[in-house]
Chain A
Amino acid sequence: MAGTITLADVKTDEKSWWCPGCGDFGVLAALQKAVVDLAIAPSELVMVAGIGCSGKIGNYINSYNIHVVHGRTLPTAMGVKLANRSLKVLAVGGDGDGFAIGMGHFIHACRRNVDVTYITMDNHIYGLTKGQNSPTSDRGAKVKTAPEGSIEAPVRPLQMALAAGATWVGQGFSSNQAELVELLKGAIGHRGFSFLNVISPCVTYNKVNTYAWYKQVLTRLAEDGAYRSDDRQLAMARAMETDELLTGLLFEDRAAPSYEDQLAGFEPQPLSAQSLAMSPAQWQELLAELA
């Protein structure tokens, strides 16, 4: 199939439900481009989408798409991958989906290292429920559920992922398409759990973390010739120093074995393609062990 995938192949005829100008458009466009560049056939791609404005992204990509319950993309993605390890499995969702209701799964997915790619579309706000505080909302952010400004310290997703043992950690910006496409390709190509947080401004409910603001404060790792992405400590330090206002590949460990690679008796052939037949002799053998 390689080389035969075009942009038309990865689009659906579904009309977008997003507000004009929403950052999620940029994430969708970059993802479609990455899938084309990687020549992933639509039937080999599984999108596991969360609940939120962001989670609708799956509806616009021609692929197998399972739109799950709020916050649970990662365990479902793990189930899909274990069932059929030849598929490309992407979990996608918002900052609320991933770092509030789904935080437990996020941390455990990082440390398990199942070969799935997790893309978060981080707008520092709850978009779909119309503007409440998100775990990544800045301290002091005035939102519907914190009219006097948020008093909670924000979650730092990149540091969380690094601390939890993620083997590929990066951050992109939805308006920086060229860099985002490359990051997506890197994340999808990584063997193991890859986490790409994408800054994706909400133009309707977040009047602080806007495109203009991000363009001022973001720095690009790629512009720092001295930065090496194979050092977890360095990555952690850089994330802390910059308050995570950076884009690029922060960390990658190419040698770490994936979860599937470490499972005893787990074959390269997808489970979904294996026969379930058991012979009467095998059955008797099992029972005999219990006698």
Chain B
Amino acid sequence: MGDVAWKIGGDQGEGIDSTGDVMATVANRLGYHIYGYKSFSSRIKGGHTHYQVRIADHPVRAATARTDVLVALTQETIDKNVQAVGPGGAVVADQAFSPALPEGSQLALVTIPMAQIARQIGNPLTRNMVAVGASAALLHLPMAAFSAYVSEKFARKGDETVAQNLEALGQGYTAALAQMPEGLSVRLPAVEPAGRLLLTGNQAVALGAVRAGCRIMAAYPITPATDIMEELVTLLPRFGGVVCQMEDEIAAITLVVGAGYAGVRAMTATSGPGFSLMQEGMGLAAAAEVPAVIVDCQRAGPSTGMPTKNEQSDVMAAIFGGHGGAARVVLAPGTVEQAYHDIGLAFNLAEGYHLPVIVASDLSLAEWTQTVEALPYDGIAVERGPVVSAAELASLVTGFDRYRLTESGVSARSLPGQARGQYLATGVEHLPSGKVSEDPANRRLEMDKRERKLATLAREYRGTEYMGNERPDVLVITFGSTVGAVDEAIGLSQGVGQVARLQVRRLWPFPAEEVLAAAQGAGAVLFVEQNAQGQLAQLAEMSGLHHARTRHLRRYDGTLFLPEEIQGAIVSALDLAAKGVS
């Protein structure tokens, strides 16, 4: 079938993560396409957790409702997940807890004494490796690839650990082979290694930031943004840069403003709670026209609301949050490749237009692994934006007009250290010179100047990505990581009707014309987004979209959108379109 969903479940703190990572990494190296999805809660030990690895011979960018092979380390794993295992699938379980399938289940149960094998090997920690070995057998994946990776992974821990893990792998493999269920129909076509990377959105952001010349990163730890900081803490010093762990997010954003003001590419990364704290600082960047890049890895809730669950609910906060009148750009990548592209773009826009640029990521994009086609060197170009020249400064008769009124709204800045470039950068309303002024006419002129930058930018950059034929029966409008599940759902709907997809890549300035044009010829419009309010739909409506046949699919219960569910919504939207009345 070319697409297998493997899942491992057990208690949190029992190495589920690293076991899933082994499966994902090896399958990726073999040349398969991976999507790795973890479900965990905000605690370190205890509580049930599972990790789904989709392994396919084509790109996959979403989790699936289906499970083909379920590895259970506790009875709870079976109880919670077995209903998703279809005919032809199998459950592999540790004999230690005397696993039982629900009464009447026809599923194959492969019972392996995982914990016992691990104990015999002399290292109880190798239990999960027994499970990996068993999985390799059931999925018909080559053991050699697993052995090679495991040797590499444990090399640092010494020969004995390597040998123990290899032994565990091998015993799991042999034990599963001996019990190969007859009805098991899981088979992946052979593929060739392709050298593709397996990355999370957070890794792509960190890599893209380095590629884009970011040199200062300031942040305060928060799931699901912390990885960005942790990646950069090793990367940036190699390029002379620094990561500063600050006392709070207010310090992080205001440090970024200071660095941006002084001419260095700087960024911060956070999630909703920290993003709220950054609002005033972003407003300062907007008013004082200082470049700043802010990554918001959205999640559900304040404080510890639903910190480990996906949501896309900071749309309005990103655009309109904080005090009034603060011009900013909000980008919304949906895939790992787009996250890389957008962080590069964010720095160029921030320095090109002298404003804060928010990259609105979300937990799924931030944390789940995807096989990545490429992060091309040329995918990011470094464009530093207008800075006044030394010659120009030298020839000035009066002071430097930092906030000169221009047609585009953009006015060249000077950088501290540049002789004769001194000016006052302030959140207070100011004259073109930077000098404080409460003159009403000047207020309008300077406010309009800042807003004009957004109009200029919207003319120069596209804000959406369209997939499908023109004038479709149904146009699905979505943003962020949800695009993966949407695209897969559209694939599943083939033959039922014409379905197209519009991904909003830039939430602000909202690409109204592009959205209106795409929706105009569509029979029906379906908004798919992960928040309760339909924030994307509201934005579109504010911008003039009033399609007579509009449907909404929203999810805000902390679980992921699955392609199967979206497919259902597409089918009902097709019905709506077929009714034809407008």
**Contact A271–B215 (Cβ < 8 Å):** yes
Interface range on chain B: under 10, 10 to 19, 20 to 34, or 35 or more?
35 or more
**Contact B418–A43 (Cβ < 8 Å):** yes
Contacts of A283 in B (CB 8 A): 211, 377
Q: Mark B243-278, 1 if CB is under 8 A from A, else 0.
A: 010111011101111111111111000000000000
> Is A75 positioned at the interface, with any CB of B under 8 Å from its CB?
yes
> Is B87 positioned at the interface, with any CB of A under 8 Å from its CB?
no
Contacts of B423 in A (CB 8 A): 64-65
A290 to B371, CA, bound (A): 12
Contacts of B203 in A (CB 8 A): 290
- B280, chain A: closest CB distance, angstroms: 5
**Contact A272–B263 (Cβ < 8 Å):** yes
Q: A82-B216, A87-B262, A276-B213 are in contact. Are A69 and B195 (CB under 8 A)?
A: no
> Is A14 positioned at the interface, with any CB of B under 8 Å from its CB?
yes
Q: A65-B424, A66-B425 are in contact. Are A78 and B240 (CB under 8 A)?
A: no
- A7, chain B: closest CB distance, angstroms: 16
**Contact B266–A83 (Cβ < 8 Å):** yes
> Is B241 positioned at the interface, with any CB of A under 8 Å from its CB?
yes
A265 to B210, CA, bound (A): 15
A79 to B264, CA, bound (A): 9
Contacts of B197 in A (CB 8 A): 287, 290-291
Contacts of A65 in B (CB 8 A): 422-426
> Is A72 positioned at the interface, with any CB of B under 8 Å from its CB?
yes
Q: Mark B427-445, 1 if CB is under 8 A from A, else 0.
A: 1100000011000000000
Contacts of A66 in B (CB 8 A): 257-258, 261, 288, 290, 424-426
- State how many residues of chain A have any CB contact under 8 Å with chain B: 54
Contacts of B416 in A (CB 8 A): 43-44, 46, 64, 80, 84, 87
In chain A between 266 and 291, which residues have their CB closer than 8 angstroms to a CB of chain B? 266-267, 270-272, 274, 276-278, 280, 283-284, 286-287, 290-291
> Is A105 positioned at the interface, with any CB of B under 8 Å from its CB?
yes
A277 to B381, CA, bound (A): 10
Contacts of B195 in A (CB 8 A): 291
Contacts of B261 in A (CB 8 A): 66, 76, 79-80, 83
**Contact B218–A272 (Cβ < 8 Å):** no
Contacts of A44 in B (CB 8 A): 416-417
In chain B between 192 and 235, which residues have their CB closer than 8 angstroms to a CB of chain A? 195, 197, 199, 203, 207, 210-213, 215-216, 218, 235
Contact of A62 among B255, B265, B422 (CB under 8 A): B422
Contacts of B427 in A (CB 8 A): 67-69
A274 to B262, CA, bound (A): 13
A263 to B243, CA, bound (A): 10
- B293, chain A: closest CB distance, angstroms: 13
**Contact A68–B240 (Cβ < 8 Å):** no
**Contact B216–A271 (Cβ < 8 Å):** yes
In chain A between 19 and 78, which residues have their CB closer than 8 angstroms to a CB of chain B? 41-44, 46, 48, 58-59, 62-69, 72, 74-78
With A266-B242, A277-B213 given, can you name 8 additional A-B contacts, CB distance below 8 Å?
A: A58-B424, A59-B436, A66-B258, A69-B284, A75-B251, A75-B252, A264-B237, A265-B239
Residue numbers of A with Cβ under 8 A of B are 14, 41-44, 46, 48, 58-59, 62-69, 72, 74-84, 86-87, 104-105, 107-108, 263-267, 270-272, 274, 276-278, 280, 283-284, 286-287, 290-291
Complex A-B: 19 CB contacts under 8 Å: A46-B416, A64-B422, A66-B425, A75-B258, A76-B261, A78-B244, A79-B259, A80-B258, A80-B416, A104-B247, A263-B242, A265-B236, A265-B238, A267-B240, A274-B240, A276-B265, A278-B213, A284-B377, A290-B203
